[in-house]
Amino acid sequence: MNIPLLGVNIDHVATLRQARGTDYPSVLEAARIAEDHGADLITVHLREDRRHIQDRDVTELIAQARTRVNLEMACTAEMLAIALSHRPADVCLVPERRAELTTEGGLDVAGQRALIEPFCRQLEAAGIRVSLFIDPELDQIQAAHECRAPVIELHTGAYANAVDDQRQHELQRLATAATAAESAGLVVNAGHGLNVSNVGPVAAIKPIREFNIGHSIIARALFIGLGAAVAEMKRCLTSRPVA
Ligand code: PXP
Whether 192 is catalytic: yes
Instruction: Give pLDDT tens digits for 185-222.
Output: 999 999 999 999 999 999 999 999 999 999 999 999 99
Are 187 and 151 in contact, with CB atoms under 8 Å apart?
yes
101, with CB counted inside 10 A (0-12, 13-18, 19+), is exposed
What lies within 8 Å, CB to CB, of 31 at 6+ separation is: 8, 10, 39, 42, 61, 64, 65
What distance in Å separates the CA atoms of residue 131 and residue 108, rounded to the nearest whole number? 13
Please compute the mean of the pLDDT values over residues 223-237 and round it to a whole number.
98
What integer pLDDT is reported at residue 240 of this predicted model? 62
pLDDT band at 105 (very low <50, low <70, confident <90, very high): confident
Looking at the DSSP bridge assignments, the partners of residue 129 are: 90
Task: Give percent of the chain above pLDDT 90.
Answer: 92
Please state the rounded mean pLDDT for residues 10-18. 98
Torsion of CA 24, 30, 31, 32, to 10 degrees: 110
Q: What is the mean pLDDT of residues 123-152?
A: 97
- Nearest 10 degrees: CA dihedral of 68, 155, 171, 144? -90
Q: Which residues pair with 69 in a beta bridge?
A: 42
In angstroms and rounded to an integer, the radius of gyration of the C-alpha atoms of the chain is 17
Is the CB of residue 52 below 6 angstroms from any atom belonging to ligand 1?
A: no
Q: How confident is the model over 147-162, as a mean pLDDT?
A: 97
Query: Could you tell me the pLDDT band of residue 97, with boundaries at 50, 70 and 90?
Result: confident
Ligand 1 mean position, distance from CA 9 (Å): 7
pLDDT of 59 = 98
What is the DSSP code string of 81-138? HHHHHH--SEEEE----TT-SS--S---TTT-HHHHHHHHHHHHHTTPEEEEEE-S-H
Amino acid identity at 101? L
pLDDT at 241 over 90: no
What is the 14 CA–ligand 1 centroid distance (Å)? 14
pLDDT category of residue 2 using cuts at 50, 70 and 90: confident
**105 CB less than 6 Å from ligand 1?**
no
Angle between helices 27-36 and 55-64 (to 10 degrees): 40
| Mean pLDDT of the residues in the chain | 95
pLDDT exceeds 70 at position 98: no
Say what the pLDDT of residue 190 is: 98
Q: What is the pLDDT of residue 206?
A: 96
